[in-house]
Chains A and B, each alone.
Chain A
Amino acid sequence: MNSDIKLGVTLFSFSGVYSQRRMDLEGILKTVHEMGYKGIELVAAQMVPEYPDPSDRWIGEFRNLLEKYSLELVTWSAYIDMGIRSDRDLSPAEIIQYTRNDMIYAKRAGASIVRTQHAITPEIFKRMIPFCKELDMNLSIEMHSPHHPDVPVWKEYLEIMASPDSEGYLGVVPDFSIFQHTPHEPAKKEFMEGGFDEEKLMRVIALHDAGKSEEEILSTESFTDFEKRSVHDIKHRFSAPAKVEDLGNLLPYAPYIHGKFHYLPANCVDPTIPFEKLIPIIKESGFKGYIASEYEGGDAEHTVEQLSRFVKMNTALLNS
Protein backbone atom coordinates (compact mmCIF):
# COMPACT_ATOMS: atom_id res chain seq x y z
CA MET A 1 0.00 0.00 0.00
CA ASN A 2 1.14 3.51 -0.84
CA SER A 3 2.01 4.82 2.60
CA ASP A 4 1.86 8.47 1.52
CA ILE A 5 -1.93 8.23 1.32
CA LYS A 6 -3.65 7.71 4.65
CA LEU A 7 -7.29 7.27 5.58
CA GLY A 8 -8.44 9.66 8.27
CA VAL A 9 -11.85 10.57 9.58
CA THR A 10 -13.72 13.78 10.07
CA LEU A 11 -15.63 13.77 13.32
CA PHE A 12 -18.49 15.28 11.31
CA SER A 13 -19.23 11.64 10.44
CA PHE A 14 -20.53 11.30 14.00
CA SER A 15 -23.02 14.17 13.69
CA GLY A 16 -26.05 12.01 14.50
CA VAL A 17 -24.24 10.16 17.28
CA TYR A 18 -23.06 13.40 18.87
CA SER A 19 -26.28 15.41 18.60
CA GLN A 20 -28.29 12.54 20.01
CA ARG A 21 -25.77 12.34 22.87
CA ARG A 22 -25.04 8.67 22.21
CA MET A 23 -21.32 9.51 22.54
CA ASP A 24 -19.45 12.54 23.79
CA LEU A 25 -16.25 13.82 22.21
CA GLU A 26 -14.09 11.41 24.19
CA GLY A 27 -16.34 8.49 23.25
CA ILE A 28 -15.97 9.41 19.59
CA LEU A 29 -12.18 9.76 19.83
CA LYS A 30 -11.99 6.38 21.56
CA THR A 31 -14.16 4.82 18.84
CA VAL A 32 -12.11 6.21 15.95
CA HIS A 33 -8.93 5.04 17.68
CA GLU A 34 -10.38 1.55 18.07
CA MET A 35 -11.30 1.60 14.38
CA GLY A 36 -7.62 2.14 13.58
CA TYR A 37 -7.73 5.75 12.48
CA LYS A 38 -4.71 7.95 13.21
CA GLY A 39 -5.71 11.30 11.72
CA ILE A 40 -8.86 13.26 12.48
CA GLU A 41 -10.66 16.43 11.46
CA LEU A 42 -12.61 18.49 13.96
CA VAL A 43 -15.51 20.67 12.86
CA ALA A 44 -14.93 23.43 15.36
CA ALA A 45 -18.45 24.89 15.32
CA GLN A 46 -19.76 21.41 16.00
CA MET A 47 -17.73 19.98 18.88
CA VAL A 48 -15.93 22.89 20.53
CA PRO A 49 -18.11 23.93 23.48
CA GLU A 50 -16.72 27.43 23.85
CA TYR A 51 -16.57 28.18 20.14
CA PRO A 52 -15.52 30.59 18.68
CA ASP A 53 -13.17 31.27 21.63
CA PRO A 54 -12.23 28.01 23.35
CA SER A 55 -10.31 28.43 26.60
CA ASP A 56 -6.76 27.20 27.08
CA ARG A 57 -8.24 24.72 29.50
CA TRP A 58 -10.50 23.17 26.87
CA ILE A 59 -7.68 23.10 24.31
CA GLY A 60 -5.45 21.40 26.89
CA GLU A 61 -8.08 18.78 27.68
CA PHE A 62 -8.63 18.15 24.00
CA ARG A 63 -4.90 17.70 23.35
CA ASN A 64 -4.72 15.26 26.25
CA LEU A 65 -7.51 13.21 24.69
CA LEU A 66 -5.70 13.16 21.35
CA GLU A 67 -2.62 11.86 23.09
CA LYS A 68 -4.58 9.31 25.09
CA TYR A 69 -6.03 7.82 21.91
CA SER A 70 -2.90 8.25 19.73
CA LEU A 71 -4.64 10.60 17.33
CA GLU A 72 -3.30 13.45 15.23
CA LEU A 73 -5.49 16.48 14.62
CA VAL A 74 -4.94 17.01 10.91
CA THR A 75 -7.62 19.52 9.98
CA TRP A 76 -9.64 22.12 11.84
CA SER A 77 -12.78 22.87 9.88
CA ALA A 78 -13.90 26.48 9.88
CA TYR A 79 -16.88 28.14 8.29
CA ILE A 80 -17.37 31.45 6.60
CA ASP A 81 -20.69 32.25 8.22
CA MET A 82 -21.52 35.13 5.91
CA GLY A 83 -25.09 35.32 7.17
CA ILE A 84 -24.53 35.54 10.93
CA ARG A 85 -26.05 39.00 11.07
CA SER A 86 -29.68 39.66 10.24
CA ASP A 87 -29.04 43.06 8.70
CA ARG A 88 -26.10 42.41 6.35
CA ASP A 89 -23.42 39.95 5.28
CA LEU A 90 -20.11 39.81 7.11
CA SER A 91 -17.70 42.61 6.25
CA PRO A 92 -14.16 41.83 5.04
CA ALA A 93 -12.86 42.78 8.51
CA GLU A 94 -15.19 40.25 10.12
CA ILE A 95 -14.31 37.49 7.64
CA ILE A 96 -10.64 38.10 8.43
CA GLN A 97 -11.35 38.10 12.16
CA TYR A 98 -13.21 34.78 12.10
CA THR A 99 -10.56 33.21 9.86
CA ARG A 100 -7.64 34.46 11.96
CA ASN A 101 -9.44 33.26 15.06
CA ASP A 102 -9.95 29.76 13.69
CA MET A 103 -6.32 29.59 12.57
CA ILE A 104 -5.05 30.57 16.03
CA TYR A 105 -7.16 27.98 17.84
CA ALA A 106 -6.38 25.37 15.19
CA LYS A 107 -2.69 25.98 15.81
CA ARG A 108 -3.11 25.72 19.57
CA ALA A 109 -5.04 22.48 19.14
CA GLY A 110 -2.24 21.08 16.98
CA ALA A 111 -3.76 21.13 13.49
CA SER A 112 -1.75 21.93 10.38
CA ILE A 113 -4.63 22.58 7.99
CA VAL A 114 -7.63 24.87 8.33
CA ARG A 115 -10.52 24.09 6.02
CA THR A 116 -12.37 27.23 5.04
CA GLN A 117 -15.19 27.97 2.60
CA HIS A 118 -15.66 29.61 -0.78
CA ALA A 119 -17.24 32.77 0.65
CA ILE A 120 -13.85 33.91 2.00
CA THR A 121 -13.36 35.89 -1.28
CA PRO A 122 -10.20 35.81 -3.43
CA GLU A 123 -8.92 39.10 -1.93
CA ILE A 124 -9.06 37.88 1.66
CA PHE A 125 -7.76 34.44 0.73
CA LYS A 126 -4.62 36.09 -0.66
CA ARG A 127 -4.35 38.44 2.30
CA MET A 128 -4.11 35.49 4.68
CA ILE A 129 -0.79 34.28 3.19
CA PRO A 130 1.49 36.11 5.69
CA PHE A 131 -0.54 34.78 8.60
CA CYS A 132 -0.38 31.25 7.16
CA LYS A 133 3.41 31.62 6.96
CA GLU A 134 3.61 33.00 10.47
CA LEU A 135 1.72 30.00 11.87
CA ASP A 136 3.06 27.56 9.28
CA MET A 137 -0.48 26.55 8.53
CA ASN A 138 -2.25 25.62 5.31
CA LEU A 139 -5.54 27.36 4.59
CA SER A 140 -7.67 25.45 2.09
CA ILE A 141 -11.09 26.07 0.64
CA GLU A 142 -13.44 23.14 0.38
CA MET A 143 -14.87 22.55 -3.07
CA HIS A 144 -18.30 21.08 -2.41
CA SER A 145 -21.27 20.34 -4.63
CA PRO A 146 -22.79 22.27 -6.44
CA HIS A 147 -19.43 23.97 -7.05
CA HIS A 148 -16.90 22.76 -9.60
CA PRO A 149 -13.64 24.05 -11.08
CA ASP A 150 -15.36 26.14 -13.76
CA VAL A 151 -17.36 28.31 -11.36
CA PRO A 152 -15.87 31.81 -11.98
CA VAL A 153 -14.75 32.39 -8.38
CA TRP A 154 -13.13 28.96 -8.33
CA LYS A 155 -11.13 29.81 -11.43
CA GLU A 156 -9.77 32.76 -9.47
CA TYR A 157 -9.07 30.62 -6.41
CA LEU A 158 -7.23 28.02 -8.45
CA GLU A 159 -5.08 30.72 -10.03
CA ILE A 160 -4.22 32.08 -6.59
CA MET A 161 -3.31 28.59 -5.35
CA ALA A 162 -1.13 28.04 -8.42
CA SER A 163 0.67 31.35 -8.02
CA PRO A 164 4.20 31.20 -6.55
CA ASP A 165 3.09 33.83 -4.01
CA SER A 166 0.94 31.33 -2.16
CA GLU A 167 4.00 29.07 -1.60
CA GLY A 168 1.83 26.07 -0.94
CA TYR A 169 0.04 27.71 2.00
CA LEU A 170 -3.25 28.09 0.12
CA GLY A 171 -5.10 25.12 -1.23
CA VAL A 172 -8.30 23.24 -1.96
CA VAL A 173 -10.07 20.42 -0.17
CA PRO A 174 -11.91 18.51 -2.90
CA ASP A 175 -15.11 17.04 -1.51
CA PHE A 176 -16.35 14.00 -3.39
CA SER A 177 -19.88 15.41 -3.40
CA ILE A 178 -18.80 17.16 -6.61
CA PHE A 179 -18.64 13.75 -8.31
CA GLN A 180 -21.99 12.45 -7.02
CA HIS A 181 -24.04 11.57 -10.07
CA THR A 182 -27.14 9.82 -8.75
CA PRO A 183 -29.27 10.00 -5.59
CA HIS A 184 -27.95 8.13 -2.56
CA GLU A 185 -30.07 5.92 -0.30
CA PRO A 186 -30.91 8.56 2.35
CA ALA A 187 -32.12 10.92 -0.40
CA LYS A 188 -34.28 8.21 -1.97
CA LYS A 189 -35.73 7.48 1.44
CA GLU A 190 -36.47 11.16 1.93
CA PHE A 191 -38.26 11.37 -1.44
CA MET A 192 -40.34 8.29 -0.66
CA GLU A 193 -41.21 9.47 2.84
CA GLY A 194 -42.38 12.71 1.28
CA GLY A 195 -44.81 10.72 -0.89
CA PHE A 196 -42.86 9.91 -4.07
CA ASP A 197 -44.14 6.59 -5.43
CA GLU A 198 -41.27 4.09 -5.19
CA GLU A 199 -41.56 2.53 -8.65
CA LYS A 200 -41.98 5.91 -10.26
CA LEU A 201 -38.90 7.16 -8.40
CA MET A 202 -36.86 4.23 -9.71
CA ARG A 203 -38.01 5.06 -13.26
CA VAL A 204 -37.03 8.70 -12.75
CA ILE A 205 -33.58 7.76 -11.45
CA ALA A 206 -33.04 5.41 -14.40
CA LEU A 207 -33.90 8.27 -16.78
CA HIS A 208 -31.61 10.63 -14.83
CA ASP A 209 -28.81 8.06 -15.02
CA ALA A 210 -29.40 7.80 -18.77
CA GLY A 211 -28.77 11.54 -19.05
CA LYS A 212 -32.35 12.74 -19.57
CA SER A 213 -33.13 16.36 -18.71
CA GLU A 214 -35.68 17.48 -16.13
CA GLU A 215 -38.09 18.39 -18.95
CA GLU A 216 -37.66 15.03 -20.64
CA ILE A 217 -38.24 13.18 -17.38
CA LEU A 218 -41.36 15.21 -16.55
CA SER A 219 -42.84 14.48 -19.98
CA THR A 220 -42.76 10.69 -19.50
CA GLU A 221 -45.69 10.42 -17.09
CA SER A 222 -47.76 12.47 -14.63
CA PHE A 223 -46.23 13.70 -11.36
CA THR A 224 -47.55 15.28 -8.19
CA ASP A 225 -46.17 18.68 -7.19
CA PHE A 226 -43.92 17.03 -4.60
CA GLU A 227 -42.65 14.57 -7.20
CA LYS A 228 -41.96 17.41 -9.62
CA ARG A 229 -39.96 19.27 -6.99
CA SER A 230 -38.08 16.06 -6.20
CA VAL A 231 -37.21 15.55 -9.88
CA HIS A 232 -35.86 19.11 -9.90
CA ASP A 233 -33.91 18.30 -6.75
CA ILE A 234 -32.44 15.13 -8.28
CA LYS A 235 -31.27 17.04 -11.35
CA HIS A 236 -29.72 19.80 -9.23
CA ARG A 237 -28.20 17.86 -6.38
CA PHE A 238 -27.12 14.69 -8.10
CA SER A 239 -25.70 15.67 -11.47
CA ALA A 240 -21.98 15.52 -10.64
CA PRO A 241 -21.00 19.15 -11.20
CA ALA A 242 -17.36 18.14 -11.68
CA LYS A 243 -15.89 15.62 -14.08
CA VAL A 244 -13.73 12.80 -12.72
CA GLU A 245 -10.80 14.18 -14.76
CA ASP A 246 -11.07 17.50 -12.88
CA LEU A 247 -9.69 15.85 -9.76
CA GLY A 248 -6.21 15.62 -11.30
CA ASN A 249 -6.18 19.41 -11.75
CA LEU A 250 -7.13 20.02 -8.12
CA LEU A 251 -4.73 17.57 -6.48
CA PRO A 252 -1.54 19.65 -6.90
CA TYR A 253 -3.12 22.17 -4.50
CA ALA A 254 -4.91 19.70 -2.23
CA PRO A 255 -3.34 18.96 1.19
CA TYR A 256 -6.44 17.00 2.21
CA ILE A 257 -9.45 15.30 0.63
CA HIS A 258 -13.01 14.79 1.80
CA GLY A 259 -14.01 11.23 0.99
CA LYS A 260 -17.71 12.03 1.14
CA PHE A 261 -20.29 9.24 1.15
CA HIS A 262 -23.88 8.78 2.30
CA TYR A 263 -24.45 5.06 2.27
CA LEU A 264 -22.39 1.99 1.44
CA PRO A 265 -24.15 -1.34 0.93
CA ALA A 266 -22.64 -4.55 2.33
CA ASN A 267 -20.57 -5.08 -0.84
CA CYS A 268 -18.71 -1.81 -0.05
CA VAL A 269 -19.25 -0.32 -3.50
CA ASP A 270 -20.65 3.21 -3.73
CA PRO A 271 -23.11 3.40 -6.62
CA THR A 272 -23.32 7.22 -6.39
CA ILE A 273 -19.67 8.41 -6.33
CA PRO A 274 -17.05 6.72 -8.56
CA PHE A 275 -14.43 5.90 -5.92
CA GLU A 276 -13.05 3.20 -8.22
CA LYS A 277 -12.05 5.95 -10.66
CA LEU A 278 -11.11 8.66 -8.13
CA ILE A 279 -8.73 6.66 -5.91
CA PRO A 280 -6.47 5.57 -8.82
CA ILE A 281 -6.20 9.24 -9.91
CA ILE A 282 -5.14 10.17 -6.36
CA LYS A 283 -2.58 7.33 -6.28
CA GLU A 284 -1.08 8.34 -9.60
CA SER A 285 -0.92 12.03 -8.69
CA GLY A 286 1.69 11.65 -5.96
CA PHE A 287 -0.76 13.01 -3.37
CA LYS A 288 0.61 12.83 0.16
CA GLY A 289 -1.80 13.20 3.03
CA TYR A 290 -5.15 12.14 4.35
CA ILE A 291 -8.36 11.19 2.64
CA ALA A 292 -10.98 11.83 5.30
CA SER A 293 -13.81 9.39 5.76
CA GLU A 294 -16.79 11.71 5.68
CA TYR A 295 -20.03 9.90 6.36
CA GLU A 296 -22.96 12.19 5.70
CA GLY A 297 -25.74 9.65 5.96
CA GLY A 298 -26.64 10.81 9.46
CA ASP A 299 -27.76 7.36 10.62
CA ALA A 300 -26.42 7.36 14.17
CA GLU A 301 -27.02 3.67 14.72
CA HIS A 302 -25.01 2.59 11.66
CA THR A 303 -22.25 5.20 11.68
CA VAL A 304 -19.48 2.83 12.78
CA GLU A 305 -20.62 0.14 10.34
CA GLN A 306 -20.73 2.67 7.50
CA LEU A 307 -17.25 3.98 8.33
CA SER A 308 -15.90 0.41 8.48
CA ARG A 309 -17.30 -0.26 5.02
CA PHE A 310 -15.70 2.96 3.78
CA VAL A 311 -12.31 1.90 5.12
CA LYS A 312 -12.71 -1.54 3.57
CA MET A 313 -13.62 -0.09 0.17
CA ASN A 314 -10.78 2.42 0.12
CA THR A 315 -8.13 0.11 1.56
CA ALA A 316 -8.89 -2.31 -1.27
CA LEU A 317 -8.74 0.48 -3.88
CA LEU A 318 -5.50 1.89 -2.43
CA ASN A 319 -3.89 -1.57 -2.40
CA SER A 320 -4.98 -2.63 -5.87
Chain B
Amino acid sequence: MFDEFNKLMVAESDISNIKAGESVVGYEFNVQYPSYRGTFLSCIEAFTVDVDGEEIAPDEMAFFINGKEVLIEELHELFREYWFILDYAKVRVYRKGGLPQGSTHKVHVFMKHRIPYTGYFGNYMVLDAHCQKELAVG
Protein backbone atom coordinates (compact mmCIF):
# COMPACT_ATOMS: atom_id res chain seq x y z
CA MET B 1 0.00 0.00 0.00
CA PHE B 2 2.95 2.33 0.56
CA ASP B 3 3.98 2.16 -3.12
CA GLU B 4 1.05 4.37 -4.06
CA PHE B 5 2.42 7.12 -1.83
CA ASN B 6 5.95 6.98 -3.26
CA LYS B 7 4.71 8.72 -6.40
CA LEU B 8 3.84 11.73 -4.25
CA MET B 9 7.29 12.10 -2.67
CA VAL B 10 8.72 14.61 -5.16
CA ALA B 11 6.03 17.29 -5.39
CA GLU B 12 4.93 18.57 -8.76
CA SER B 13 5.84 22.14 -7.93
CA ASP B 14 8.65 24.15 -9.48
CA ILE B 15 12.22 24.28 -8.32
CA SER B 16 12.99 27.72 -6.86
CA ASN B 17 16.33 29.42 -6.67
CA ILE B 18 17.40 30.51 -3.20
CA LYS B 19 18.37 34.15 -3.15
CA ALA B 20 20.19 36.30 -0.64
CA GLY B 21 20.29 39.88 -1.85
CA GLU B 22 21.61 39.77 -5.42
CA SER B 23 23.21 36.37 -4.96
CA VAL B 24 21.68 33.05 -5.88
CA VAL B 25 23.09 30.60 -3.35
CA GLY B 26 21.31 27.45 -4.41
CA TYR B 27 17.93 25.98 -5.24
CA GLU B 28 15.15 24.10 -3.47
CA PHE B 29 12.22 21.83 -4.23
CA ASN B 30 9.34 20.27 -2.27
CA VAL B 31 9.04 16.73 -0.96
CA GLN B 32 6.08 15.00 0.69
CA TYR B 33 6.41 12.16 3.18
CA PRO B 34 5.41 9.04 1.21
CA SER B 35 2.84 7.50 3.51
CA TYR B 36 -0.77 7.85 4.58
CA ARG B 37 0.30 9.39 7.92
CA GLY B 38 2.99 11.68 9.22
CA THR B 39 6.21 10.59 10.83
CA PHE B 40 9.08 11.74 12.99
CA LEU B 41 12.25 12.75 11.16
CA SER B 42 14.23 10.15 13.12
CA CYS B 43 12.45 7.47 11.10
CA ILE B 44 14.30 8.57 7.95
CA GLU B 45 17.22 6.17 7.73
CA ALA B 46 18.66 7.36 4.42
CA PHE B 47 17.96 10.28 2.14
CA THR B 48 19.69 10.90 -1.17
CA VAL B 49 19.01 13.18 -4.11
CA ASP B 50 20.07 12.98 -7.75
CA VAL B 51 19.58 15.88 -10.12
CA ASP B 52 20.03 15.08 -13.81
CA GLY B 53 21.75 11.86 -12.80
CA GLU B 54 24.29 13.54 -10.52
CA GLU B 55 24.14 12.67 -6.83
CA ILE B 56 24.14 15.68 -4.53
CA ALA B 57 26.71 15.35 -1.73
CA PRO B 58 25.02 15.32 1.71
CA ASP B 59 27.08 18.32 2.83
CA GLU B 60 25.83 20.32 -0.16
CA MET B 61 22.21 20.02 0.87
CA ALA B 62 19.83 20.43 3.80
CA PHE B 63 16.31 19.56 4.79
CA PHE B 64 13.85 22.33 5.80
CA ILE B 65 10.69 21.52 7.76
CA ASN B 66 8.65 23.13 10.57
CA GLY B 67 10.55 26.37 10.05
CA LYS B 68 13.93 24.77 10.73
CA GLU B 69 16.77 23.74 8.51
CA VAL B 70 18.47 20.50 9.50
CA LEU B 71 21.36 18.54 8.04
CA ILE B 72 20.73 15.18 6.42
CA GLU B 73 23.09 13.61 8.94
CA GLU B 74 20.97 15.03 11.79
CA LEU B 75 17.69 13.49 10.65
CA HIS B 76 18.11 10.26 12.60
CA GLU B 77 18.44 12.20 15.87
CA LEU B 78 15.24 14.26 15.47
CA PHE B 79 12.76 12.07 17.28
CA ARG B 80 10.60 15.00 18.44
CA GLU B 81 10.36 16.64 15.03
CA TYR B 82 7.16 15.66 13.28
CA TRP B 83 6.57 15.71 9.54
CA PHE B 84 2.87 16.20 8.74
CA ILE B 85 1.96 14.59 5.43
CA LEU B 86 0.49 17.72 3.87
CA ASP B 87 3.49 19.83 4.86
CA TYR B 88 6.09 19.90 2.14
CA ALA B 89 9.65 19.71 3.34
CA LYS B 90 12.09 21.66 1.23
CA VAL B 91 15.25 20.04 0.01
CA ARG B 92 17.80 22.82 -0.31
CA VAL B 93 20.81 22.33 -2.52
CA TYR B 94 23.52 24.91 -1.90
CA ARG B 95 25.24 25.49 -5.19
CA LYS B 96 26.36 28.93 -6.33
CA GLY B 97 24.17 30.33 -9.07
CA GLY B 98 21.34 27.85 -8.53
CA LEU B 99 19.72 26.58 -11.73
CA PRO B 100 18.82 28.59 -14.86
CA GLN B 101 15.30 30.06 -14.75
CA GLY B 102 12.96 28.10 -17.03
CA SER B 103 15.23 25.06 -17.39
CA THR B 104 13.91 21.59 -16.51
CA HIS B 105 15.63 18.90 -14.49
CA LYS B 106 15.20 15.26 -13.58
CA VAL B 107 14.95 15.15 -9.81
CA HIS B 108 15.22 11.76 -8.14
CA VAL B 109 14.79 11.26 -4.40
CA PHE B 110 15.47 8.08 -2.49
CA MET B 111 14.35 7.66 1.10
CA LYS B 112 14.76 4.67 3.35
CA HIS B 113 12.26 5.02 6.17
CA ARG B 114 11.16 3.03 9.17
CA ILE B 115 7.47 2.54 9.94
CA PRO B 116 7.65 3.07 13.71
CA TYR B 117 4.54 1.17 14.75
CA THR B 118 4.92 -1.92 12.67
CA GLY B 119 6.23 -4.93 14.44
CA TYR B 120 3.32 -7.23 15.26
CA PHE B 121 5.86 -9.91 16.05
CA GLY B 122 8.91 -7.81 16.74
CA ASN B 123 10.37 -6.28 13.58
CA TYR B 124 9.92 -2.82 12.15
CA MET B 125 9.10 -2.43 8.53
CA VAL B 126 11.77 -0.45 6.69
CA LEU B 127 10.76 0.77 3.25
CA ASP B 128 12.68 2.03 0.24
CA ALA B 129 10.88 4.89 -1.47
CA HIS B 130 11.97 6.19 -4.87
CA CYS B 131 10.43 9.00 -6.84
CA GLN B 132 11.61 10.83 -9.94
CA LYS B 133 9.99 13.80 -11.59
CA GLU B 134 10.91 16.29 -14.25
CA LEU B 135 10.68 19.72 -12.64
CA ALA B 136 10.99 23.20 -14.07
CA VAL B 137 12.80 26.07 -12.41
CA GLY B 138 10.15 28.72 -11.84
Is A51's CB under 8 angstroms from B38's CB? yes
Pairs A-B, 3 closest by C-beta atoms: A81-B116, A15-B36, A83-B116
User: Which B residues between 80 and 136 are near A, CB-CB below 8 angstroms?
Assistant: 82, 84-87, 114-121, 124
> B37 — which chain A residues lie within 8 A by C-beta?
43, 45-46, 79
B19 CB-CB contact with A under 8 Å? no
Task: Give B6 Cβ to nearest chain A Cβ, in Å.
Answer: 11
Indicate if B20 sits at the interface (CB-CB under 8 A). Answer: no
> Are B85 and A19 in contact, with the CB atoms below 8 A?
yes
Q: Is there a chain B Cβ closer than 8 Å to A21's Cβ?
A: yes
Q: Determine if B16 is an interface residue (Cβ-Cβ < 8 Å).
A: no
Counting CB contacts under 8 A, is A117 at the interface? Answer: yes
Taking each of A19, A79, A119, A186, which has the highest tally of chain B beta carbons within 10 Å of its own beta carbon? Answer: A19
A118 cross-chain contacts in B, Cβ below 8 A: 120
Q: How far is the CA of A86 from the CA of B5 in the complex (A)?
A: 23
List chain B residues, Cβ under 8 A from A107: none
B117 touches A79 (CB 8 A): yes
Interface size class of B (residues with CB under 8 A): 20 to 34
A266 CB within 8 Å of chain B: no
Q: Is B8 an interface residue (CB 8 A)?
A: yes
Main secondary structure of the interface of A (DSSP, over half): loop
A297 to chain B minimum Cβ distance, whole angstroms, is 9
User: Which A-chain residue is minimally distant from B121 (CB atoms)?
Assistant: A146
Q: Is the CB–CB distance between B82 and A83 below 8 Å? A: no
Q: Is A65 an interface residue (CB 8 A)?
A: no
Tell me which residues across on chain B come within 8 A of A81, comparing CB atoms: 40, 116-117
Separation in Å of the B12 CB from the closest CB of chain A?
A: 10
Complex contact B8–A19 (CB within 8 A): yes
Out of B8, B77, B115, B117, name the residue touching A117 (CB < 8 Å).
Answer: B117
A218 at the interface (CB under 8 A from B): no
The CA-CA distance from A85 to B121 in the complex, in Å, is: 18
CA–CA, A146 and B120, complex, Å: 7
B42 within 8 A of A: yes
A208, B76: Cα distance in complex, Å: 42
**Bound complex: CA of A117 vs CA of B76, how far in Å?**
24
A49 part of interface (Cβ distance < 8 Å) = yes
Q: Is the CB of B79 within 8 A of A85?
A: yes
* Residue pair A83, B77 in contact (C-beta under 8 Å): no
Contact A84 B36 (CB under 8 A): no
**Interface presence of A188 (CB below 8 A):** no
Whether the pair A51, B124 counts as a contact (CB closer than 8 A) is no
What does the 1/0 interface line of B15-41 toward A look like (CB < 8 Å)? 000000000000000001001111010
Q: Which residues of chain A are near B32, meaning CB under 8 Å?
A: 19
A-B contacts besides A45-B38, A84-B116, 13 pairs, CB < 8 Å: A15-B36, A21-B86, A46-B85, A51-B84, A52-B82, A83-B114, A84-B40, A84-B43, A84-B79, A86-B45, A86-B77, A117-B117, A119-B119
